Amino acid sequence: MGAVTPLGNSREAFWESLVAGRSGVGPTAAFDPAKLTTRIAAEVKDFDADVLIGRRDARRMDRFAQFALVAAREAMEDAKLPEDREVRERTGAIVASGIGGIITVENTTFEVGPQEKWDRISPFFVPMLMSNAASAHISMHYGLRGPVFAVASACASANDAFTVAYDKIVLGDAIAVVTGGSEATVIPTAMGGFCSMKAMSTRNDDPTHASRPFDKERDGFVLGEGAGIMVFEEREYALGRGARIYAEVLGYGQAADAFHIAQPDPESKGVILAMERALARSGITPQQVGYINAHGTSTPLGDLAESQAIERVFGEHATSGALAVSSTKSMHGHLLGAAGAVEGIATALALARGIIPPTTNYEVPDPGCTLDYVPNVARKAQVQVAMSNGFGFGGHNTSVVFGHHAG
């Protein structure tokens, strides 16, 4: 696993911040947001791409691809995947991004602007903006010749990348897949668009408490950025080579709302189907799930829909408090297409380390959200099965199930 996040630029820094309940949210530093209703964000800090990647290569990559490559480097060093030709030819790279190189698009648009310098656009413009740039750079850097492409389904993108990686391995198309998601959208156009939608928190005077999933006083999400990368391997291959295994991917479920481009279905039909299908594919019962890393964006409608869907699928197991549910977005914000990637890492580490990260800023219970949200303080608990939810604009719903690895 590798991570570049608002809570730290490594897997361990990210995890330690989660367990400690730290916030990565603060006043927006990437640009002056004075004209916007939301002026806070969860930004990656102390990230010098020229040093981490090299000036020449970094200047030919959008920030989202830089994040992905650095996270992949940590993941590959952690995995110690053999470098022989046969293994690399059977290893893929499937990395998601909901938006891709939007910084490149914005910067180029501003530079061309009314000057109409269309004939002076950089030859690297298209290679930098394309969503598959992250997976392509990882493939080139490590000589991976298996299935290499991108997945884009808004805020469910990284969860969907996990499902495709899973399928490629199960089908025998790959023995291993470098997978996850990356996003970098803390820029005027993206934030301005979300402000116009009234989707983000306007708690500008109290940024560390702005993201408050499931809390009655939540008022929108906080935009984040970063990347999370995992190395998925075929089980017997990983065991045979003595790989360090954090968790096992048991299955997944996908379903669409078929309702609205940006609003969740008030009856949560797609979310319910996704979780039910994930349980069925994984061959487990609702009672076996001990933890759900919720999508939990801190929006009034989204959190309510998800909480009620969990209650519908898990019944008394959820309402009795036997099922822990938390949203780590309360600390790292909403990373859009990379959200499921860093949350997948959090879910797998919760299984491996026996600690459930909290939902911070949970202060005022919402009568419509009645589950155990692990409020404010991490909890020691040896969970055997956990689920990570990811839902995206367009009505995309994907739930991935991870199991504890006893080895």
Q: Tokens standing for 245?
A: 């295994």
Q: Is 295 a catalytic residue?
A: yes
Label residue 407 by pLDDT band (50, 70, 90): confident
**Domain hosting residue 373, numbered range:** 247-404
Residues 180, 122 share a domain: yes
Residues 373, 230 share a domain: no
Give Cα 85 to chain centroid, integer Å. Answer: 31
Residues 271, 228 share a domain: no
Residues 119, 69 share a domain: yes
Residues 218, 147 share a domain: yes
Domain boundary pick from 240, 274, 290: 240
Amino acid at 305: A
Percent with pLDDT over 70 in the chain:
100
Give this prediction's pTM: 0.97
| Number of domains forming the structure of the chain | 2
pLDDT at 110: 87
Residues 365, 274 share a domain: yes
Domain boundary pick from 191, 211, 240: 240
Q: What is the pLDDT of residues 130-180, one digit of tens each?
A: 999 999 999 999 999 999 999 999 999 999 999 999 999 999 999 999 999
Label residue 309 by pLDDT band (50, 70, 90): very high
Residues 149, 280 share a domain: no
Domain boundary pick from 240, 273, 290: 240
d(CA 356, CA 382): 9
The predicted model gives 6-15 an average pLDDT of 98
Residues 337, 218 share a domain: no
Secondary structure class of 4 (helix, strand, coil): strand
Residues 277, 205 share a domain: no
Cα R_g (the chain), whole angstroms: 20
Q: Which of 155, 195, 332, 396 is catalytic?
A: 155
pLDDT at 388: 98
Residues 219, 327 share a domain: no
Residues 275, 231 share a domain: no
Sequence-ordered list of residues with C-beta below 8 angstroms from that of 36, at least 6 positions apart, any chain = 188, 191, 192, 195
Q: Which of 137, 295, 396, 404 is catalytic?
A: 295
d(CA 161, CA 267): 26
Average pLDDT, the chain: 97
Q: Which of 317, 334, 396, 404 is catalytic?
A: 334
Residues 277, 137 share a domain: no
Q: What is the pLDDT of residues 212-245, one digit of tens each?
A: 999 999 999 999 999 999 999 999 999 999 999 9
Q: What is the pLDDT of residues 334-352, one digit of tens each?
A: 999 999 999 999 999 999 9
CATH code at position 196: 3.40.47.10
Q: Is 334 a catalytic residue?
A: yes
d(CA 99, CA 330): 22
Label residue 119 by pLDDT band (50, 70, 90): confident
